[in-house]
Amino acid sequence: MTPENTKGQYLPSDEYRKTAMVKSVDEYTRLYSESMKDPVAYWVKQAEHIDWFSKGWKEPFTWNKKKDEFTWFKGGKLNVSYNCLDRHVKNGLKNTAAIIFQGEDDKDVRVYTYGQLLHEVERFSNVLKKNGVKKGDRVAVYLPMIPELAITLLACTRVGAIHSVVFAGFSSDAIFNRVADCTPKVLVTSDGSYRAGKKIDMKGKVNEILERDTSVEHVLVVKHTGADVVMEKDRDVWWHEEMEKVPLKCEPEVMDAEDPLFMLYTSGTTGKPKGMVHVNGGYLVGVNSSFRYIFNYNPGQVYWCTADIGWITGHSSILYGPLSVGATTLMFEGVPNYPENDRFWQVAEKWKVDIFYTAPTALRMIRKNGDDWIKKHDLSSLKMLASVGEPIDADVWKWYHRVIGGGRCPIADTWWQTETGSIIIAPLTGAFDLKPGSAMKPLPGIKTGVFREDKTECGVGESGNLFLMEPFPSLARTIWNDHAKYVEQYWATFPGHYLTGDGARIDADGDHWLLGRVDDVISVAGHRIGAAEIEAALIAHPAVAEAAVVPVPDEIKGEAIYTFVTLKDGFTESEDLKKQLINQVRNVVGPIATPKTIQISQGLPKTRSGKIMRRLLRKIAGGSSQSELGDTTTLLDPSVIESLIKGRL
Ligand code: PRX
C-alpha cells in the first residue's frame, strides 16, 4: 500500500521510485530551477534525445514578439517517422512490439513490431506518393482506431505531408468545414467502424462530403468492417490493393524542424474551429521529453492510453510520445462498456498493462457501474495511472487509486491542451507526494503564472487566469490560414505570454489546481466544444432568433450543454420544435454536442451594448437564485432574469 503522509498526500513506494526517471523532490527542484535559469539550454539538452540528420540551427530559439512568431531548432533537419521507427529498428528494437492493436471483437488482435510497423509505413508512404502526395501537401484522415490510422500518420510524416485528423464523431458539415479549411489532396478513410457492437458507416459520409466541391483528388479506403461501399471510379482506391502495387522501401524526407508536421482542429470562442499547427522539431522534442518524465516507462512494459486519435491526446500520447521512446503502446478500438462494463479491465488483464492513462469522464462512468466489474480482474500488472482532459476531483482520484490501482499505483493528473502539444503540468510520480485533485507542478522548461484580469499576479491560493509565460518547443506555432486569430486568441491579452483559457490557483507549495475553462468553451466528456459553434448551428434553424449556450455540471460527463433559445415571431414552443433543435445541433456540429436542455425564453440577459451575459446564464442554468446572481441592474432589461429563472428546466 502507498502510505499517506500527515497532510493527506500519497507517497510513491520505494519499489516504484526506483524505476522512476526523477526520484525525489530535490532532484525535480534542481532540474526545474536549472531549466528556469536557461530554458533554451534545457531544451537543447532535451533535443539530444532525438536523432537529427543535422543539428544545423544557428539559434535554437528565436522569438519575434511583435508578430508572435517563434522558432525552435530552425535549420535542424529530422524526420519524425525515422525517430519513431528506423532508429529503434537499428538500435535493437526490431522485434519489440510497437503497437498492440485490440479490436472491439476480442479476437481481433494485431501486434506490430517496430520492424513490421516500419515496413508498413514505408509501403504506405509510397502509396501516398503514388496518389500525388508531396512534401507540404495536406492529408485528411477520417479513420477508426485501427493500426492503419497509426500507419497513415507515420507515413505522412515520412513523406513530409501535413496530416489533419478529423474525429469520427463529427457530423458531415463539421467534417466538410475542416476539409475546406485545410484543402487536402488525399483523404484516408475506411468502409466503416465498430462501436458497441454496431457497424458505423464512414465511407458513405465521406461520399456525401465529397459531393460538394473540395480539393480532395483521391480517397484511400481501408477495408475494416466489410460493409458494402460505393467507390467512385478514378477517385477512390482500396488501401490493400494500393499496398500491393508499390515498392517496399521509402527513404524518409528530410524535414526542417519548423516545417509543419500536422494540424488538428479545436474549438475556440468563435464559431469556426481552429486548425492548430504543430511543427516537426519542437513537437517531437516536447512529446518525447514529457513522455519520459511523466510515465516512467521501463523496457518491456505495456502502456495504454484510452484516448481517440481524433484528439491531441491520441496524437501525442498514443502515437508520437510512446513511439519516439521505443515503448509498446496499446491501441484499443472499443468502448469501456461493451460487450460489458468491465471491458477496460478485461483488456488490461489480457495484455498485462503496466501504465494506464484515461479521462475522468470514463472513470466516473466506470465508478457508477460498481466496483464488482473491476474486482473480477487481476490488475496486478498496473504500476502507474494517469488522467487527462478535465479536472479530476479528489474523490474520483482516491477511488481510481484504491480500486483500479489497488492502492499501489501513483496517479499523474496531466494538464495540457491541443495547443501545447505535450503535457505541461503534472506530478512526477516517482518524486512527489501526490495531492489528489491537483496537477501539481509544471515540467522542467515550462514557466506558468496565474494572473488577475488587471495582469497583476495572483497571491497564494488565489484563483486567476493561467498563462504559460514563454514559448516552449511543442507549443503550436499558428492557426492554419489565420495567424491574426492566433495572435488575438493567445497572445494579445497579456503580450508576450500565452493565454491558456483555463482558470487556476497555485497553493503555498507551488502546486497547481486547475479550475476549468474561463472562456466560452464547454468541456463535454473532456471534449472541447465552442459555445459559439452550437449557437451558430441553432441560429441557422428558421425558428430561432437568438441562442446562448452554457455549461452545466454533469455527474458523468463533467459538463453538459444547456441552451437558451428565443424564437422568431410566429413560432411557438413545442416538444417537436425542441427535438428539431437538438437534431439541428447533432447534424451541424455532431452527436458529441447534443444539448442536454433547451430552454425557450422570451429574452436573454444583455448588457446595454447588446452583449449576452453568459456569466449570468451559467448561474441560472446551474440553479442559482436571483439573489445569488449579483448586481443585474446594469442589464438592458433586468426583468428578463425572473422569467429565465421561472422557466428553468
Ligand atoms: O480546460 C482544460 C482541459 O482541457 C482543455 C484542453 O482540451 P483539449 O485541447 O481538447 O486537450 C485535451 C487533452 C490534452 C484545457 O484547456 N484539461 C485538460 N487536461 C486537464 C484539463 N483540465 C483540468 N485538469 C486536467 N488534467
Q: What is the pLDDT of residues 288-307, one digit of tens each?
A: 999 999 999 999 999 999 99
Ligand 1, atom nearest to 414 Cα: 26
Centre of ligand 1 to C-alpha 429, Å, is: 20
Structural contact between residues 99 and 112, judged by C-beta atoms closer than 8 angstroms: yes
Assigned C-alpha cell, 562: 444547456
Centre of ligand 1 to C-alpha 317, Å, is: 14
Q: Kindly indicate the confidence band of residue 418, based on its pLDDT and cuts at 50, 70 and 90.
A: very high
Q: What is the mean pLDDT of residues 534-540?
A: 90
Assigned C-alpha cell, 396: 474520483
Contacts of 609 (CB under 8 A, 6+ apart): none
Ligand 1, atom nearest to 387 Cα: 26
**What's the CA gap between 224 and 204, in Å, rounded?**
14
Q: Kindly indicate the confidence band of residue 569, based on its pLDDT and cuts at 50, 70 and 90.
A: confident
CATH class of segment(s) 447-517: mainly beta
The answer, yes or no, to whether any atom of ligand 1 lies below 6 A from the CB of 357, is no
**What's the CA gap between 503 and 467, in Å, rounded?**
9
Assigned C-alpha cell, 240: 490493400
The answer, yes or no, to whether any atom of ligand 1 lies below 6 A from the CB of 274, is no
Name the residue with cell 478513410: 189
Averaged confidence pLDDT in the chain: 94
The answer, yes or no, to whether any atom of ligand 1 lies below 6 A from the CB of 415, is yes
- Position 2 pLDDT exceeds 70: no
Q: What is the mean pLDDT of residues 527-552?
A: 90
The answer, yes or no, to whether any atom of ligand 1 lies below 6 A from the CB of 439, is yes
**What's the CA gap between 342 and 198, in Å, rounded?**
18
- For 521-537, the DSSP string reads EEEETTEEEEHHHHHHH
The answer, yes or no, to whether any atom of ligand 1 lies below 6 A from the CB of 390, is yes
Q: Kindly indicate the confidence band of residue 626, based on its pLDDT and cuts at 50, 70 and 90.
A: confident
The answer, yes or no, to whether any atom of ligand 1 lies below 6 A from the CB of 389, is yes
**What's the CA gap between 118 and 121, in Å, rounded?**
5
The answer, yes or no, to whether any atom of ligand 1 lies below 6 A from the CB of 47, is no
Equal fold, 108-261 vs 447-517: no
- Mutation pick for ligand 1 pocket among 287, 361, 390, 411 (CB with most ligand atoms within 8 Å): 390
The residue with greater pLDDT, 531 or 582, is 582
Assigned C-alpha cell, 384: 502507474
Return the residue whose CA atom lies nearest to atom 21 of ligand 1: 390
The answer, yes or no, to whether any atom of ligand 1 lies below 6 A from the CB of 417, is yes
Q: Can you give 321-354 as a three-state secondary structure string? A: HHHHHCCEEEEECCCCCCCCCCHHHHHHHHCCCC
The answer, yes or no, to whether any atom of ligand 1 lies below 6 A from the CB of 413, is yes
Ligand 1, atom nearest to 526 Cα: 4
pLDDT at position 631, please? Answer: 78
How does strand 544-554 pair with strand 109-113? Answer: unpaired
The answer, yes or no, to whether any atom of ligand 1 lies below 6 A from the CB of 312, is yes
The answer, yes or no, to whether any atom of ligand 1 lies below 6 A from the CB of 422, is no
Name the residue with cell 487556476: 504
pLDDT at position 521, please? Answer: 87
**C-alpha distances in angstroms, 237 versus 127, 149, 219, 220?**
10, 16, 6, 5
**What's the CA gap between 140 and 137, in Å, rounded?**
10
- Mutation pick for ligand 1 pocket among 267, 388, 557 (CB with most ligand atoms within 8 Å): 388
Centre of ligand 1 to C-alpha 335, Å, is: 21
Q: Can you give 556-580 as a three-state secondary structure string? A: CCEEEEEEEEEECCCCCCCHHHHHH
* Topology of domain 525-646, CATH: GMP Synthetase; Chain A, domain 3 (3.30.300)
Ligand 1, atom nearest to 418 Cα: 9
Centre of ligand 1 to C-alpha 500, Å, is: 10
Return the residue whose CA atom lies nearest to atom 22 of ligand 1: 390
- Position 1 pLDDT exceeds 50: no
pLDDT per residue as tens digits for the range 215-273: 999 999 999 999 999 999 999 999 999 999 999 999 999 999 999 999 999 987 676 78
Residue 317 has φ and ψ, to the nearest 5°, of: -105, -10
Structural contact between residues 334 and 343, judged by C-beta atoms closer than 8 angstroms: yes
Contacts of 378 (CB under 8 A, 6+ apart): 349
Domain 108-261, CATH number (from 3.90.1170.50, 3.40.50.980, 3.40.50.720, 3.40.50.970): 3.40.50.980
Centre of ligand 1 to C-alpha 518, Å, is: 12
Q: What is the mean pLDDT of residues 349-355?
A: 98
Q: Kindly indicate the confidence band of residue 359, based on its pLDDT and cuts at 50, 70 and 90.
A: very high
Q: Where are the alpha helices (DSSP H) in 183-275?
A: 203-210, 239-244
Q: What is the mean pLDDT of residues 568-578?
A: 93
Ligand 1, atom nearest to 425 Cα: 26
- Max Cα–Cα distance, the chain, nearest Å: 73
Of 77-86, 481-490, 633-642, minimum mean pLDDT range:
633-642
| Percent of the chain with pLDDT strictly greater than 70 | 99
Q: What is the mean pLDDT of residues 565-575?
A: 92
Helix (H, G, I), strand (E, B) or coil at 598: strand
pLDDT per residue as tens digits for the range 47-96: 999 999 999 999 999 999 999 999 999 999 999 999 999 999 999 999 99
Assigned C-alpha cell, 514: 486547475
Q: What is the mean pLDDT of residues 121-125?
A: 98
**What's the CA gap between 199 and 227, in Å, rounded?**
8
Most confident of the ranges 166-170, 185-189, 516-520: 185-189
Of 367-376, 527-536, 554-563, minimum mean pLDDT range:
527-536
Centre of ligand 1 to C-alpha 388, Å, is: 7
Centre of ligand 1 to C-alpha 526, Å, is: 7
Centre of ligand 1 to C-alpha 542, Å, is: 35
Question: Domain boundaries in the chain?
Answer: 108-261, 447-517, 525-646
